Amino acid sequence: MCTLTLSAAVPAFKPSDCVDSICPPATPSQYAIFFFGLYLIALGTGGIKPCVSSFGADQFDDTDSKERVKKGSFFNWFYFSINIGALISSSLIVWIQDNAGWGLGLGIPTLFMGLAIASLFSGTPLYRFQKPGGSPLTRVCQVFVASCRKWNLKVPTDSNLLYETPDKTSAIEGSRKLEHTDELKCLDKAAVISDAENKSEDFTNPWRLCTVTQVEELKILIRMFPIWATGIVFSAVYAQMSTMFVEQGTMMDTTVGSFSIPAASLSTFDVISVIFWVPVYDRFFIPIARKFTGNARGFSELQRMGIGLFISILCMSSAAFLEMKRLSLAEALGLVNEDVPVPISILWQIPQYFFLGAAEVFTFIGQLEFFYDQSPDAMRSLCSALSLLTTSLGNYLSSFILTIVTSLTTKGGKDGWIPDNLNKGHLDYFFWLLAGLSFLNMVVYVFCAKMYKQKKAS
């Protein structure tokens, strides 16, 4: 943020001011400083996002029933605070950047980022720290290598004969022992003690012999994979907020009274929806659901994510119905061949943004809880990073679907579903396609959720 602020405030680091309609281009060094700042933000975000939620949840004791319930609320209010920041940045900070300049507009977030770092370090004496267990990717590779080396060995029917440390604590620093499970027995070969190891009594090479806990870590990752994969389709739906929803909004009446609302600014209603639904879920839904489910958190993480996937179908259906109404009005007014907005208020988009915000509260926060609770103790940051990876892959999936749809629907010189003039297209078909994919995704999710076996820590 400091680098970006300097690139916007220091005259030598930014292009010269425009004269009439002529704007001098930036120099290579100015480009370098600007992009260096952007890449530093990307690097820092990659470090902060997967770790901050895990570190916050680490402050709650899993062995204490009261703290375990509070940990569920932590994820809700953590996501709430993120969206408060998003609301401020997309409204107040944008206004400052437009009216007072980019230097001040970037300087204010930089100042608050510095205060946040100072606040983080000031609480150091109060934090509970989890001991680092080393590289989780290395441990995963060790299990694969050890199981391949012992491919010809037979796994004993008695799991007690598999290798595990005799101590109460795990061999992995900062991790509890995991109980053996019967799935994926081929990986258990990594914990089979060979005759040579029995004779030499050398059990110290993890590339040849792994503990049951280490093998179970990999099994947990594999069991979580189908649940993780279903989040990609949901993220593809979420990506429409900044793509097709905006395209739809530009072809609607953006005037409200004497104001003109930019189509992209309606995404603020998604943020407002999240800010509304988080307290409602935490203070109203959980106590009511607790009476029916007997779960201290109201819904389990899997139930919560499933509800979010269902709401995402409602979101895309709402967008499709609105587009059908917009196209029918365009046809009635003879605007099909005119690349002009249709006189239907852009405020009719609010329901689909509201549904999307509700789906976020159930699915994204549910993912944070699920990947934290179900991940091995020493892999929590890694699994939190995997949950965030679905957002990136969802954007790629959205682009892929759009490319395929455009390619198939424009054959033979046709306008296709999404032409430049949306009045001639069928954006509603695209939204129905995503609604259908979301439904299929939910069906697959329900099947995977029923088959999923919870982590068993000693």
**Which 3-state string (H, E, C) describes 282-311?**
HHHHHHHHHHHHCCCCCCCHHHHHHHHHHH
pTM, whole model, 2 decimals? 0.85
Higher pLDDT, 197 or 237: 237
Q: For residues 1-8, give the mean pLDDT.
A: 84
Bridge pairing between strands 342-345 and 252-253: parallel
CB count within 10 Å of CB 3 equals 19
Are 212 and 178 in contact by the 8 Å Cβ rule? The answer is yes
At 233 the pLDDT is 94
Angle between helix axes 427-451 and 301-332 (nearest 10 degrees) is: 170
Local confidence band at 458 (pLDDT 50, 70, 90 cut-offs): low
The answer to whether residues 456 and 159 touch, using CB atoms and an 8 Å cutoff, is: no
User: What values do phi and psi take at 119, rounded to 5?
Assistant: -65, -40
pLDDT at 389: 87
Q: Ranked by mean pLDDT, which of 8-17, 49-58, 148-157, 346-355 comes out on top?
A: 346-355
pLDDT for residue 200: 82
Q: Residue 363 to residues 44, 142, 232, 347, 366: CA-CA distances in angstroms?
A: 25, 33, 11, 25, 5
Phi and psi, residue 260, nearest 5°? -115, 120
Phi-psi region of 165 (alpha: psi -120 to 50; beta: other; left: phi over 0): beta
Comparing CA positions, the residue from 218, 207, 210, 216 lying closest to residue 140 is 218
Measured between alpha carbons, how far is 265 from 207 in angstroms, rounded to an integer?
A: 54
Nearest to 218 by CA among 373, 378, 369: 378
Tokens representing residue 124 in the block = 């150091």
Instruction: Write down the pLDDT at residue 234.
Output: 94
**For position 439, what pLDDT does the model report?**
96
Of residues 324 and 157, the one with the higher pLDDT is: 324
pLDDT beyond 80 at 170: no
298-353, pLDDT tens digit by residue?
888 899 999 999 999 999 999 999 999 999 999 999 888 888 989 999 999 999 99
Residue-level pLDDT at 18: 77
User: What is the reported pLDDT for 145?
Assistant: 93
Q: Quick check: 174 pLDDT over 70?
A: no
**Looking at the predicted structure, is the pLDDT value of residue 105 above 90?**
no
Residue 132 reports pLDDT greater than 80: no
Select, from the ranges 30-34, 58-62, 95-99, the one with the highest average predicted confidence (pLDDT). 30-34
| Two structure tokens written together for 442 | 């939910």
How far lies 227's CA from each of 75, 301, 364, 447, in Å? 19, 11, 13, 10
Overall average pLDDT of the 410-430 stretch: 89
Express each pLDDT in 181-213 by its tens digit. Answer: 888 888 999 888 888 888 887 788 888 888 888
Cα separation, 170 vs 292, in Å, equals: 37
Mean pLDDT, the chain, as a whole number?
Answer: 87
The DSSP result for 350-416, as a single string, is HHHHHHHHHHHHHHHHHHHHHHHHSS-GGGHHHHHHHHHHHHHHHHHHHHHHHHHHHHHHTGGG---
What length is written for the chain? Answer: 458
pLDDT higher than threshold 90 for residue 356: yes
Distances (CA, A) of 441 to 17, 298, 301, 316: 51, 24, 17, 13
For residues 220 and 226, what is the distance between their CA atoms, to the nearest angstrom?
A: 11
Average pLDDT (157-170) is 82
Which residues touch 185 (CB under 8 Å, ≥6 apart)?
155
